[in-house]
Amino acid sequence: MALVITLGVLASGSGTNFQAILDAVAAGRLDARVAVLVCNTPGAGAIERARRAGVEGVVLDHRAHASRAAFDAAVVDVLRARGVELVVLAGFMRLLTDVMLDAYPMRVVNIHPALLPSFPGTHAQKQALAYGVRVTGCTVHLVDRGTDTGPIVAQAAVAVGDDDDEESLRTRILAREHELLPRALQWFAEGRVTIEQAPGQRPRVRVRGAGPAPGVVEG
């Protein structure tokens, strides 16, 4: 049985993945309460989405803080004050420091527009086109101290067409992100996600009771 998990969402831009979370909650597909949106970009579209949904929006301009760690400390204060259990990066264009990762160990979720470990970092769609792959997609993963190296929770595939350019591929991957992220967050709400780590191996996500390949969504 799913519980209502308390989310804190971090965004920097228009907030379409944030909107997908809000829509899933409103439709009853995600048993969650979005306690707060934290945005580091004054005037970003995500702020208006929060206002329309009746979600508290907090603007913390990273340029007003002396360091990345100081900025993360301010974000952690906001999240903790609102009882956030799981942090979701929804187009948040800042690298996290140990301050955030120690406050929410293996409780920060990100969505990346590629099938990790392929094409980490920025401009993943451009990387996929340059490499000539026939299939790419998106990945929900937990955040660790590397760049898009954390344990993978779920992935969805997107075919790359001969006529694709960076924008067309970005648009189609984004549509899959809007499906995949709320679905993966629901697994957290249902308490089905666990982290396993054998000696000498990387941490691995297990999702209980979701079939033979619970982290893979077909195109």
- From first to last of its 219 residues, the chain has per-residue pLDDT tens of 557 999 999 999 999 999 999 999 999 999 999 999 999 999 999 999 999 999 999 999 999 999 999 999 999 999 999 999 999 999 999 999 999 999 999 999 999 999 999 999 999 999 999 999 999 999 999 999 999 999 999 999 999 999 999 999 999 999 999 999 999 999 999 999 999 988 989 999 999 875 545 455 544
Q: What is the pTM of this model?
A: 0.93
Contact yes or no for 9/34 (Cβ under 8 A): yes
Catalytic residues: 112
Give the whole-angstrom CA distance, residue 152 versus residue 142: 6
Helix axes 124-131, 166-189, angle to 10 degrees: 120
Q: Which domains are delineated in the chain?
A: 1-105 (3.40.50.170), 110-219 (3.40.50.170)
